[in-house]
Every structure is written in structure tokens, then in C-alpha cells.
Homo-oligomer: A and B are copies of this chain.
Amino acid sequence: MPEPKADSCLITNFSHYLELVETDRQLLIFLERSERKFFAGELIYARGDRTVDLFVVKSGWLFAFTILPDGRRHVVRVYTAGDIIGLPAFAYSHHALHLEASTAGILCLFSKKALNQVFETSPRLTALLFSLVAREEVILSETLRAAIRMRPIARLAYFLLDLICRLRVTNSTMTTRFALPLTQAVIGDTMGLTNVTVSRELTAMESEGLIERFMDDIVLRDEMRMRELCDYTDRYATLDVSWFPRS
């Protein structure tokens, strides 16, 4: 019996949460349209563009952002391998955010229109998609909490913890060291800080023994204390699938 194409982006992603049955696998393979390379600095889509596709990041780093009236940039979310980009776009016919690549990489494309086949044929995959959007919302509300009300050092602790916990979902070998190919300006624009403050506070975190830095790599030296600093809850480790319909 031939194994189905194992490296389909969504199959890899979804398998972390559910045991997929064969019909679900076939459906996801059928939905996958194509791959698309991107290069560092590329604008994948702009605010106002029609939402036609759903992306899954196969490799590389990207971030979604808007521009404020005064020209400053606000980064809503950073994406890395395994992340699904564009679920919130389902509610609107046009993108609310710009999407820019921070490094080179590869995206998998899925037609937005085709996704309703999931709704029609697989209640179980539907429930998973639903939960993933719900989780994004919860995470966004925790980002809000950290970015609005905490001191810069706690905001950065939150940012780093959120990233590493996300990376651990798809990469179980990930422990405390990870590459962070983002400028300090992007980090600042995510957590409501200037690049200057990011620089100062990262240095402070290093001298306090919370982190260590090597080139583009970050090592978490005292994850426990970082968690306390920003009252962190890992929202990636668990997802409640107990209520899902049977496949």
C-alpha cells in the first residue's frame, strides 16, 4: 500500500493535533495547490489585496503588519515554519494586513474557496481549523495583555517565550536555543517598543542571566524566571480536541 505524500504542509501540521484518517489525508492533498518560493524582504501581499489563498509556511520567517497614520509600523504577528497564515482573512474579502518576508523560504498555497470542501466533508478537520483560529485569538489577547500593560523587559520575555513554545510544537528537538532572524525594529514593532529600547533591554536580560546571544541565535538561560516575569502560559502545548466530532 503506497504511503500518501507525506510532506504535504497541512498534513504535517494537522498531524500534531489529530490522528488523520485516510479520507482526510486525501482531502488535504487534493486541496494543496502549489508551492511558492519567497526571498528576504519580499512583500507577499499588501493590505487591500483580495484574499484568495491560505498559506502554510514550509520554511523561512515572515511577519504581518500595518502602517499607522504617522508612518510607524505595527507588527501583528511573526510566522515561522509550520504556521498557517490567513485564517482570520476568511472573514473578509480583502487583506487587513501586509505580509512581508524576513528571510527567504517556501510557502504552500491553498485556495480559500476550496476550504469549504473541508466544511462539507470533514467535521473533524473543521473542528480543528476552528480551534486553531480560536487559539490564535487567545494568543493575541495574551499578547495584548503583555504589550499593553507590562514593562519592556517582560514584553520581550513574552515575545521570546511565545516564539520558542511555538517552535517546539513542530520541532520536538528544540530546547532552549533558536535562530531569531528578525531585526530589533521588528521585535519592537510587535511589542510596542522602539528598536533602541529593544537593544537596551536585551542587553539587560543578558546581563541578568536570562538569555544569551550568539549572532542571530538566542539561548534561554533561565526560562523559569522569564515565565514569572511575564506570567506566561503556554497556549501551544495543549489544544482541547475532546469535544471534536468523530471522523
Contacts and interface: CB of A to CB of B under 8 A. Distances in A.
Interface of A: 51, 66, 68-69, 72, 74, 76-77, 87-93, 96-97, 112-113, 115-116, 119-120, 123, 126-127, 129-138, 140-145, 147-150, 191-192, 228, 231, 233, 235, 238-240, 242-245
A123 B116 contact: yes
B134 A144 contact: no
Contacts of A140: 137, 140-141, 144
A134 B69 contact: no
Given A91-B239, A138-B92, A138-B96, A144 B143 contact: yes
Total copies of this chain within the assembly = 2
B138 A136 contact: no
A90 B137 CA distance: 11
A145 B189 CA distance: 10
Contacts of A96: 138, 141-142, 233, 235
A148 B148 contact: yes
Contacts of A51: 240
Contacts of A144: 74, 76, 140, 143-144, 147-148
A166 to B, nearest CB: 15
Contact of A149 (B115, B192, B238): B192
A150 B74 CA distance: 11
Contacts of A135: 88, 91-92
B242 A93 contact: yes
A112 B240 CA distance: 12
Given A93-B242, A112-B243, 17 more contacts: A51-B240, A68-B145, A74-B149, A76-B141, A77-B141, A88-B138, A89-B134, A91-B131, A91-B132, A92-B138, A92-B235, A92-B239, A97-B141, A116-B123, A126-B130, A133-B137, A137-B137
Nearest to A97: B141
A191 B44 CA distance: 31
A238 B115 CA distance: 20
Contacts of A123: 116, 119-120
B240 A91 contact: yes
